[in-house]
Amino acid sequence: MCFSATGNTRGVARALAGAIGADYLEIEPEQPYTEHDLDYDDETTRATVEQRDGTARPGIASAMPEWGDYDVILFGHPIWWETVPRIMCTLFEQNAAALAGKRLADFCTSGGSGIGRATDELKGIVPDAEWGVGRRFEASASAEEVAAWAQGLGF
């Protein structure tokens, strides 16, 4: 599953799904992010305001999968202000019971920040799952590189 505002993580996630033969599902916000919403040089724009508000939970428009059909779920997302976009918290909180007990891992693209804080935030919402070690990728990562990470998770 993937949330991507500007396409970088989408490209990596689609390449991964193709390489390992996984289903691909995109997490679409109820209110799409405009270019202005994503301008992190302006402290008043939507994404920055949401990230500063630990309780912000932007709505999700996409239908959720039949969770029971999946044992392993990999989540792709960008890094926003060193952590997950708040919509990932919406996803995890709304589906915490369904995700418990599954094998989960996250991957990201970013301008350089690592994935550690993001993974910890998601783990904190669904601690009772088997968590693989997350990984940051460049937007230009090859399908082989991302697939090697997924296959190395031990799931």
Judged by the rule CB under 6 A, the positions of this chain that interact with ligand FMN are 4-10, 38, 40, 47-48, 78-82, 109-113, 139
Comparison of 89 and 129: residue with beta carbon closer to ligand FMN: 89
The pair phi, psi for residue 103, each rounded to 5°, is -100, 120
How near is the Cβ of 100 to ligand FMN at its closest, in Å?
27
Comparison of 78 and 102: residue with beta carbon closer to ligand FMN: 78
Please say whether the beta carbons of 42 and 10 come within 8 A: no
How near is the Cβ of 113 to ligand FMN at its closest, in Å?
3
How near is the Cβ of 147 to ligand FMN at its closest, in Å?
18
Residues 6 or more apart whose Cβ sits within 8 Å of residue 117: 82, 83
Q: How far apart are CA 48 and CA 60, in angstroms?
A: 18
Residue 24: how many other CB atoms lie within 10 Å: 13
How near is the Cβ of 88 to ligand FMN at its closest, in Å?
12
In a 3-state reduction of DSSP, which class is residue 2?
Answer: strand
Comparison of 41 and 69: residue with beta carbon closer to ligand FMN: 41
